[in-house]
Structure 1
Amino acid sequence: MIDMSPNQAPTLAEKTAPAETTSAIRLRGLRKEFGSVVAVEGVDLDIAQGEFFSMLGPSGSGKTTVLRMIAGFELPTSGTVELAGRDVTRLAPFERDVNTVFQDYALFPHMTVQQNVEYGLRVKKVPRAQRRERAREALRTVHLEGFESRKPTQLSGGQRQRVALARALVNRPKVLLLDEPLGALDLKLRHAMQTELKQIQRDVGITFIFVTHDQDEALTMSDRIAVFNTGGIEQVGTPSEVYEKPATAFVAGFVGTSNLLSGDSAEAVLGTRGVFSIRPEKIRIDPDLSQPAAVGEVSATGTVTSTSYAGATVRYVVALDVGGQLSVVRQNAGAPLELADNRVRLCWRQEHNFRITE
């Protein structure tokens, strides 16, 4: 952002900067029923001011329904939704200081970019000169200066996504809700927009609540993540907490790839019973069975049953002699190891065993 002298008007970031308060969003006992189907049950959640917060989960896990209840598009069967300390549970969407960006962007094809961004202000009867300036400011924020006169059909997917974002930001909401807004983009553009969207959030300083089923997307962009499953939250934490210390077997399996050791296999390898998560990239694979584990490491022997080459990495699946199997990811810093059907020793550090609940 460019520094301004004291005589200049405040920037969009300054206008939308959150006031000092407890939480941007506070959910308590949130439940939603659709007939006999319980889509959301017992969700309690606090989202801080200025936080980039992601709701991550598979289809049908309840994350989008929670987002729609925050937006006011769905009314809870029970429970409360608070926005900056104000109970908005029964208020209509236009009575809440939030805006939503959808996956399909919902731009008006007959309007220019400028007109699309101005539309919400026009409905609110903001004077023409003021709404024009605010729209241009929002377009500068998303790096679309010079695109004001174009129609949506003349834009790329990433540009249309940024127009939808500018249209939401121009209203200066306290909270911006994003319902899988990158889902329609190709992989390369999606990765580029992840970085750009996070930077925009930092620039404007408002709370973003981002719904996605893409684990890499959530890990890349979020300050914190709530992992949803069957209508409830399995874990809330920073990306590193959710990945390195999964609270449940579901989180370990859904967020990235994880090995689970349990029962007799865990006792044979780790010397204790329980369910333990070990990430594949933490494991070292060695075709020399005579090479012992280092101090502070545990080890297991087995046979490589499959090898998958993925360019930068190779994934090996190893059937353990004590039962069960482990996946190993090895960086291709040199030539890939040709280990199909080979006997190998797997070693990893003790601290990379993380006990989880089933």
Structure 2
Amino acid sequence: MSTTAVELVGLSKSFGDVTAVDGVDLEIRDGEFFSMLGPSGSGKTTVLRMIAGFEQPTSGRVHLAGQDVTGRPPFARDVNTVFQDYALFPHMDVLANVEYGLRVKKVPRAERRERATAALEAVQLGDLAARRPTQLSGGQRQRVALARALVNRPKVLLLDEPLGALDLKLRRSMQLELKQIQRDVGITFVFVTHDQEEALTMSDRIAVFRDGRIEQVAAPADLYESPASPFVAGFVGTSNLLEGEAAHTVLGRRGVFSIRPEKIHLGDEVGDDDATAPGVVQDVVYLGSVNHYLVELDAGPTLTVLRQNLRGTTHEAMALRGQRVTVGWAPEHVIELDQERQGQQHQELEES
């Protein structure tokens, strides 16, 4: 049975009149890769800084491995933090950079050399120990920063958007490497990002933040397939929302509903058991491996439909612009969203 690595109890943080974090309760399990996902200003980085001890909460408690560490300074907490700015020492080689924290702690030279070498091997940089940071690629520098944090053997590793400075191709490669490193070392990773693809790729569970609160905590597949609110549906992946009169006309019921673009069938793909709606293709967006069809329904809203760009279909896709089509979907792919919860949150924020 997994134990709790991090527990946040009623955690809040205000900066003057601004409430950055508003009553967050959260449990992060020992050994999991946990991501905090949300737009800028949603409170996720402030929560990470309170776990690390760089910020003191206005109210609430921080527990690490069952111990209340709320009042402890950063150096007295069994955590390490990797930032987007790796802050490597340019005059030291890679091995010396990784050893530095152990040297400050007065760990004997032989032991710190052994531990630093093992940390570099864990991130697959053992053969670059003698290089300077300026001789490394961005991805290699990121792994050096990771090794420097891992060498201290923390119970929890905090990562504040560490891949944000990398180009897209390298960032995707590092996502897979980072997850594999986490599996290999077996410690708890708490990862902050605003990139939903990053969170979905690496995480065991994800907390989606909005306006200083957590909207939903779930495994990636559950978060994507069963979003708890319109905000989560729109922020995690692309979502088509049907609400009000449009929902009543198209679905025969009122409320707020979501249908993912890849779940919608178009034209001759529509099945006999599908729910259907007529409309006009307003545009076709070519995205290499896929096409996005923007279909304006007769009932009003515009739906995004995703189809694989198979060989020989590109010109056919573009020819659909301006054409009337029928779209359809299996009834089980319509997700009813908790609009009441979101409305209550807006009201509470306005009243506070």
Q: Please, what TM-score do these two structures have when normalized by structure 1?
A: 0.92
Q: 1:203: which partner in 2?
A: 184
Equivalent of 2:134, from 153, 159, 179? 153
AA in 2 matched with 1:73: F
- Which residue of 1 is the match for residue 149 of structure 2? 168
CA gap of 1:320–1:133, structure 2 versus 1, over 3 A, is: same
Identity of paired residues, percent? 68
Find the residue that maps to 2:127 and give its secondary structure.
coil
Change (3 A) 1:67 1:45: same
Which deviates the most, 131-140 or 320-329? 320-329
In the alignment, which residue of structure 1 is the partner of 2:33? 52
Which of 273, 278, 281 is 1:301 aligned to?
Answer: 278
Write the distance in 2 (CA, Å) between the matches of 1:146 and 1:333: 43
Structure 2 residue runs without a partner (length 5+): 340-352
| Post-superposition offset of 1:333 | 2.0
Q: Is 1:103 aligned with 2:81?
A: no
- Cα pair distance change 1:113/1:292, threshold 3 Å: closer
CA shift, 1:146, in A, is 1.7
Three-state SS of the structure 1 residue aligned to 2:126 is: coil
Conserved 8 A contact 1:21-1:84: no
**Aligned twin of 2:228:** 247
Residue equivalent to 1:27:
8
Counterpart of 1:73 in 2: which secondary structure?
A: coil
Deviation at residue 293 of structure 1 after TM alignment: 4.4
Alignment check: 8 A CA contact 2:270 2:327 kept: no
Report whether the alignment pairs 1:86 with 2:86. Answer: no
* Mapping 1:1-358, distance limit 5 Å: 22-286=3-267, 293-295=271-273, 297-334=274-311, 335-336=313-314, 337=317, 338-358=319-339
Question: 1:292 Cα shift?
Answer: 6.9
One-letter amino acid of the structure 1 residue matched with residue 222 of structure 2: E
Distance change in 2, residues 1:21/1:91 (3 Å)? farther
* Matched residue SS, 2:4: coil
Cα distance in 2, alignment partners of residues 74 and 206 from structure 1: 23
On the 8 A contact 1:293/1:299 being kept in 2, the answer is no
Check whether the contact 1:71–1:93 (CA below 8 A) recurs between aligned residues: yes
* 1:332 CA displacement: 1.1
Code of the aligned partner of 1:69: M
What is the alpha-carbon distance in structure 1 between the residues aligned to residue 168 and residue 270 of structure 2? Answer: 42
**Runs of 4+ residues deviating >6 angstroms:** none
Q: Which secondary structure does the structure 1 equivalent of 2:299 belong to?
A: coil
In structure 2, what is the Cα distance between the partners aligned to 1:238 and 1:41?
Answer: 23
Give, in whole Å, the separation in 2 of the partners of 1:66 and 1:111: 32
Q: Distance in 1 between matches of 2:281 and 2:173?
A: 36
Whichever residue aligns with residue 323 of structure 1, its letter is G
Task: Return the alpha-carbon distance in structure 1 between the equivalents of residues 246 and 14 of structure 2.
Answer: 41
Deviations 1:176-209, CA, capped at 9 Å, x for gaps: 0000000011111111100000000000000000
In structure 1, distance between residues paired with 2:190 and 2:301: 39
For these two proteins, the number of residue pairs brought into alignment is: 335
Give the aligned CA root-mean-square deviation in angstroms. 1.2
C-alpha deviation, 1:22, in angstroms: 2.7
Partners of 1:219 and 1:82 in 2: how far apart? 26
SS in 2 for 1:40: strand
| 8 Å contact kept, 2:270–2:329 | no
**2 CA distance for matches of 1:93 and 1:25?**
15
**1:97-145 deviation digits (Å, cap 9, x = unpaired):** 0000000111111111111100110111000000000000000000001
Question: In structure 2, the residue corresponding to 1:24 is in which secondary structure?
Answer: strand
Q: Which is helix-richer, 1 or 2? A: 2
C-alpha distance in 2 between matches for 1:102 and 1:248: 31
Structure 1 residues without counterparts, runs of 5 or longer? 1-19
Distance in 2, Cα, partners of 1:235 & 1:172: 30
Q: 1:320 to 1:161 in 2, by over 3 A?
A: same
Q: Distance in 1 between matches of 2:2 and 2:105?
A: 27
Is the CA contact (8 Å cut-off) linking 1:261 and 1:324 kept in structure 2? yes
Displacement of 1:263 after TM fit?
A: 1.2
So what's the TM-score if we normalise by structure 2? 0.93
Question: For 1:164-183, what per-residue CA distance to the aligned partner results, in whole angstroms no more than 9, with x for missing partners?
Answer: 00000000000000000000
